[in-house]
Amino acid sequence: MANPLSRALILLTSIAVVGVAIADDSMRCGSKIIVTGMTRSEVLVHCGEPTAKAEEELPVRSGNQVVGKTLRYRWTYESYSGKRVLAFDQEKLILIQ
């Protein structure tokens, strides 16, 4: 049986790992939590205009064939707590870095 100190250390390590995983999937704008799956307009309402915006058109492939195009947007938010980059595919937030 593990002693109380070992159990506390394991618990704190587990909480830290979960906290890091959650931080990569979300960000805070004021009192709102921004998560993947939100739309560009939802993020804009909660966070305001980003510090920088970039847009690129990417091919959509099916096997070796290009079957269409999609727009990928990257918004950068800079604040006193650091820089976050949000990636959108069309209208949906797909990644927070």
Query: Which two tokens mark 96?
Result: 């927070």
Q: Which pair of tokens denotes residue 57?
A: 């058109």
What's the pLDDT tens digit per position in 37-74? Answer: 999 999 999 999 999 999 999 999 999 999 999 999 99
Phi first, then psi: what are they for 40, rounded to 5°? -60, -40
Cα-flanking dihedrals φ and ψ of residue 39, to 5°?
Answer: -90, 165
Assigned token pair, 38 = 């939100």
The reported pLDDT for the residue numbered 20 is 42
Going by pLDDT thresholds of 50, 70 and 90, the confidence category of residue 93 is very high
* Per-residue confidence band for 80, with pLDDT thresholds at 50, 70 and 90: confident
Region 81-87 average pLDDT: 92
- Average pLDDT along the chain: 83
Looking at this protein, which amino acid is placed at residue 9?
L
Task: Give the pLDDT band (50/70/90) at residue 4.
Answer: low
Q: Which two tokens stand for residue 21?
A: 């995983």
pLDDT-based confidence at residue 7 (cuts at 50, 70, 90) = low
Give the C-alpha separation, 75 to 80, whole Å: 17
